[in-house]
Amino acid sequence: MRSYKRYTRRKRLLKQIAVVALVFILGFVLLRAVSYMAIQGEIPMINSFNLFRREADTSFGWNLILVNDDYCVPRNYEVELTELSNGEKVDSRIYPQLQQMFDDARAEGLELFVREGYRTTQDQKDIMNERIQQYQDEGYSRGEAKKLAKEYVAEPGTSEHELGIAVDINADTSKCSSDAVYTWLANNAYKYGFIKRYPDNKIEITGVNNEPWHYRYVGVDAALEMQKKGLCLEEYIETLK
């Protein structure tokens, strides 16, 4: 009799656990769907939610914030901007080093400029939507277009450009080649505290294809160590933990 009672009690408990687990799973799926739609801008009132992405850790300092597909820009992240002569903006704290780097590159006969600096999350969303539209115009379904766009464009909230400490640097190709600029940057940017954020040999870690134009400020000490040891930012941050 007692063992039968225990048996039914256990059965009831199992049933309760199953119900709770089911509710959790359903809730998770629902929230994930809402979050996805929000990121895609399909729910405008909550359009900057990254519900299942952790916020980037700011404890190593503003210059070592790691933002990628796993960690989004902290909510309400504030940045003081300096406008460059071509209208692009960057975090004021990186401006002196950026200017020095450009002056020194120009002294060696290179012509380069910041193609893209700071972006708001809305800018990032617009870029994503434009790219999706391009693929749809090419005949892809909306779902396929979104998937393709995400291979090339960081999801809103996860681009380093939203921090203001990343810049896309291009050559003025009427005066010098892109290769000349990219090579100079790869060999010298670390001296000014900038790293090539998405190198060819770290694609598996960064999840981003080789971008020889995208430079990210981390500070001179960190850049020097990363250059010496051949580490990408994800790897370097691990060494700090």
Q: Where do contacts with Zn ion occur on this chain (CB under 5 A)? A: 168, 214
Which is closer to Zn ion, CB of 125 or CB of 214? 214
- The residue at minimum Cβ distance from Zn ion is 214
The residue (of 146 and 214) whose beta carbon lies closer to Zn ion is 214
What's the rounded Cα separation, in Å, for the pair 223 and 19? 51
Q: At 131, list the tokens.
A: 């790219």
Closest approach of Zn ion to the CB of residue 141, in Å: 28
How far, CA to CA in Å, does 32 sit from each of 29, 44, 143, 145, 219? Answer: 5, 16, 16, 20, 36
Output the smallest distance, CB 240 to Zn ion, in A. 24
Q: CB-wise, 38 or 127, nearer to Zn ion?
A: 127
Residue 127 CB, nearest distance to Zn ion (Å)?
11
Nearer to Zn ion, 38 or 128 (CB): 128
Which residue out of 111, 144, 211, 235 is catalytically annotated? 211
Q: What is the DSSP pairing of strand 112-116 with strand 81-83?
A: unpaired
- In the residue annotation, 211 being an active-site residue is answered as yes
| Closest approach of Zn ion to the CB of residue 168, in Å | 4
Contact 70, 101 (CB under 8 A): no
Catalytic residue positions, numbered: 211
